[in-house]
Amino acid sequence: MGKVKVGIINVTGYAGVELARLLYKHPGIELTSVTGRSAAGQKLNQIFPHLDKLDLDIAPKLGEVELAFSALPHKESAQEIVPLIEKGIKVVDISADFRLNDPDDYPRWYNFTHPAPLLLKKAIYGLTELYRKKIASAQLIANPGCYPTGAILALAPAVKEGLIAPDIVIDSKSGVSGAGRSLSLSTHFSEVNEDVSAYALEGHRHLPEITQELKKLGGKEPSVTFIPHLIPMTRGILTTAYASLVTGKLAEGKKGIEELRQLYLDFYKGEPFVRVSATPPHTKHTWGNNFCFIYPTIDLRTNRLIAISAIDNLVKGAAGQAIQNMNLMLGLPETTGLEALPVYP
């Protein structure tokens, strides 16, 4: 069987260039086409010297491929994807354009009317740990957002088992690369360095995605307070989720903590990229890798669940998860091309 021809739309963004890096030595595919509007006509390895072996021209339009990754911003991505789907090409969309099931949510959270609402029913949410079978047979994958990936994986076992009350607080701290590669005052070095700030307190656009998926897990819509923070590092998201435990679901005291940990271990048994850790994880434990580390525990004073997760926002939160989905769509081993250990320190 020959290698599958793959392309990246908008390779010059952080997610796009991370895709190119991870795909470089993937044994089952050949990266044959990349686009980038601001860099069209230039060589990929000239703009990004660390991709020296990828001697590809950055084109204004995608060439002939069997599977495409779209790393365009929201709204723009859907417009590029529709004709690809019509041609029968498999697509993994890294933008938010197909993550929300209800088309009425897009004007509210993303400020545009969805151009292909019927495709929302066809798109499969690409959180592999929850939708593996559906992803394998899908043509269109909505790759999850970085914040939702860490939050949903941290809470999924507890929500699925009905361990917690529906009032949930999620606190996430992200590195600056999550804001993308475009220039903005809020991500200048002198603005971000030695500073931590909360933002989107009125409601972050990843909130409906988190709520949507937790509702599917638990059967009822949770009340979620989600507050993201920007911290002075390049990569990584650390999420801490809090919720009151339902009385009687777990034993009291330390026995309950042991039962909770075992529940998480059972839920994620056999998952290649989820690690239920024995100690609270650090973002550096995931640097450059597709791992998600999760640490569940209980605040015994308040009878409250505390679930902590750590991911690399550009890998498990974007490009790595996209390749994980691609592998399933192509019938390849899920871990192919993603086996490298994190960089430390």
Q: What is the CATH number of the domain that holds 99?
A: 3.40.50.720
User: Does a structural domain hold residue 334?
Assistant: no
**Residue 132 domain-assigned?**
no
Contact 276, 308 (CB under 8 A): no
Q: In this predicted structure, what is the pLDDT of residue 37?
A: 81
Q: What is the per-residue pLDDT for 198?
A: 97
**Residues 59 and 204 occupy one common structural domain:** no
Whether residues 94 and 153 fall in one domain:
no
Residue 28 clears pLDDT 90, i.e. is over it = yes
- Answer yes or no: is 76 within a domain: yes
pLDDT of amino acid 241: 98
Query: Quick one: 20 and 94 in the same domain?
Result: yes
What integer is the mean pLDDT of 6-15? 96
Does residue 129 lie within any of the structural domains? no
- Residue 169 sits in the same domain as residue 286: yes
Instruction: Tell me the C-alpha distance between 145 and 7, whole Å.
Output: 21
- Looking at the annotation, which residues are catalytic? 146
Verify that 84 and 161 share a domain, yes or no: no
Q: Which of 40-44, 226-230, 254-258, 327-331 comes out lowest in average pLDDT? A: 40-44
237 with 311: CB under 8 angstroms? yes
pLDDT digits (tens, 9 = 90+) for 65-76: 999 999 999 999
Q: What is the per-residue pLDDT for 58? A: 96
Residue 1 scores a pLDDT above 80: no
Q: What token pair was written down for 148? A: 């939702």
Looking at the fold, whether 191 and 78 belong to one and the same domain comes out as no
Q: What's the CA dihedral at 203, 205, 209, 211 to 10 degrees? A: 0
d(CA 206, CA 251): 34
One-letter amino acid identity for 303?
N
- Residues 282 and 160 grouped into a single domain: yes
How distant is the alpha carbon of residue 87 from its chain centre? Answer: 26
In a domain, 335, yes or no: no
The reply to whether 337 falls in a domain is no
Of 39 and 315, more confident? 315
What's residue 186's pLDDT? 82
Q: 169-217: per-residue pLDDT in tens?
A: 999 999 999 988 887 888 889 999 999 999 999 999 999 999 999 999 9
- Is the same domain home to 171 and 303? yes
**CA–CA distance, 97 with 189 (Å, rounded to integer):** 30
Residues 88 and 152 in one domain: no
List the domain range (segments joined by +) for residue 60.
4-122
Considering the domain architecture, whether residues 116 and 155 belong to the same structural domain is answered as no
Instruction: For residues 115 and 157, state if they share a domain.
Output: no
> For all residues of the chain together, what is the average pLDDT?
96
- 187: domain CATH number is 3.30.360.10
* Number of domains composing the chain: 2
Looking at residue 249, its amino acid is K
